[in-house]
């Protein structure tokens, strides 16, 4: 997992600066500060929501992987509803368990059971990370495909509000100034 995450981080770091520059280069100079503020706020909102969604997905996959691993190790089958109840119970227990209660639980297990449980935890975490990385990759590809639908050029608007905001330019033709005098 270290290599894909390293590549992801390097790619993100190399692309973000260029993406911001390219996006803001299409904005008129008088609107630059507003566009920069909107872009920064949107980026922070996207980072927060993305972290929450991917974090929830990762934890859900981890807990489901632990339950599935334990059921496989005990060679037990349960219904989907029972499995989902076990996953929710594990999530609740993990949120309320302290370090002391976790160590007390592990102390009750034999060394072979401890090793088996550690293997189940590791396999569940690797699977959850791989699945989350796949989800992120699919989202990036979908966003890249959607970006091809964006307009290629900035379109000029005939908005009267834009004309009111722009200062009146002095006449450039010398004959116009002579008529006014």
R_g over Cα of the chain: 28
Query: Could you give the CA distance from residue 7 to residue 131 in angstroms, rounded to a whole number?
Result: 17
What pLDDT, in 10s, does the model give residues 32-86?
A: 899 989 989 998 999 899 999 999 999 999 999 999 999 999 999 999 999 999 9
Rounded to two decimals, what is the model's pTM? 0.68
Provide the pLDDT for residue 61: 96
Residue 172 or residue 9, greater confidence: 9
List the structure tokens of 41. Answer: 């706020």
- pLDDT tens sequence across 95-131: 888 989 988 988 999 999 999 999 999 999 999 999 9
Q: Is the pLDDT of residue 170 over 60?
A: no
């Amino acid at each position: 997992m270290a290599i894909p995450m390293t590549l992801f981080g390097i790619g993100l770091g190399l692309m973000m600066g260029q993406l911001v520059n390219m996006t803001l280069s299409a904005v008129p100079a008088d609107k630059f500060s507003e566009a920069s503020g909107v872009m920064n706020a949107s980026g922070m909102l996207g980072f927060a929501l993305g972290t929450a969604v991917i974090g929830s997905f990762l934890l859900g996959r981890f807990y489901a992987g632990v339950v599935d691993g334990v059921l496989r190790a005990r060679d037990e089958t349960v219904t989907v509803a029972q499995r989902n109840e076990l996953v929710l119970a594990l999530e609740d227990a993990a949120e309320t368990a302290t370090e002391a209660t976790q160590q007390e639980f592990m102390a009750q297990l034999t060394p072979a059971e401890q090793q088996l449980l550690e293997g189940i935890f590791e396999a569940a975490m690797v699977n959850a990370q791989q699945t989350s990385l796949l989800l992120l990759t699919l989202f990036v590809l979908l966003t890249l495909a959607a970006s091809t639908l964006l307009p290629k050029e900035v379109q000029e608007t005939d908005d009267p509000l834009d004309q009111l905001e722009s200062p009146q330019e002095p006449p450039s033709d010398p004959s116009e100034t002579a008529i006014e005098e």
